Amino acid sequence: MDVLTGHTIVCGYGVVGQRIVTTLIEHGIKFVVVEYDPDVVKKGIEKGYAVIEGDATSSRVLKSAGITNARAIAIAMDNDAKNLFAVLTARDLNKDIFIATRANDKLVREKMIEAGADYIVMPQNSASDEIVAEITKVNK
């Protein structure tokens, strides 16, 4: 893989990771996907994406994704513990990187802030907020 600079690393290529990649493409932002599941890796490669097979909590894997030269990292795995560990690892490897992650648990969210995450989304809260916003519109 060519040395990338100023790119975004997307950890996890599930539903959330795929939407992140689509948006990055729409905005012309360079990216590398890190994915553990070999079948999912194959799908990303078939689409022509730069994909690294491995665990996003691993320093070695994040280094191979060019974390020292990356501008941002989107940690979108469906496991709070792995996401937290990936935040810790990313912050340790690149003090200046922008870290966006997801959390399902409020206590984990607090730990992610302590670990150095810059932006944390809680999907359940986001979904309920959007639903309530639409319901309040039709009830006015």
Q: What is the pLDDT along the chain (140 residues), one digit of tens a residue?
A: 557 899 999 999 999 999 999 999 999 999 999 999 999 999 999 999 999 999 999 999 999 999 999 999 999 999 999 999 999 999 999 999 999 999 988 899 999 999 999 999 987 666 666 677 777 787 77
Residue 126 belongs to what domain range? 8-138
Residue 60 covered by a domain: yes
Question: DSSP 3-state assignment of 78?
Answer: coil
- pLDDT of 134 reads 72
* Domain assignment present for 21: yes
CATH number (domain holding residue 102): 3.40.50.720
Amino acid at 130: E
Cα angle value 19/97/87 (rounded, 5°): 70
What the block records as the tokens of 95 is 């003090």
Whether 61 maps to a domain, the answer reads yes
Do 60 and 93 meet the contact criterion of CB atoms below 8 Å apart?
no
Per the structure, the count of domains in the chain is 1
Instruction: Please report, as a single letter, which amino acid is at residue 10.
Output: V
Specify the pLDDT at position 14. 93
Start-to-end Cα distance in the chain: 54
Given this model, what pLDDT does residue 2 score? 54
Single-letter residue type at 69: N
The answer to whether residue 65 is domain-embedded is yes
* Whole-number pLDDT of residue 122: 86
Comparing C-alpha atoms, which of 35, 30, 42 is closest to residue 14?
35
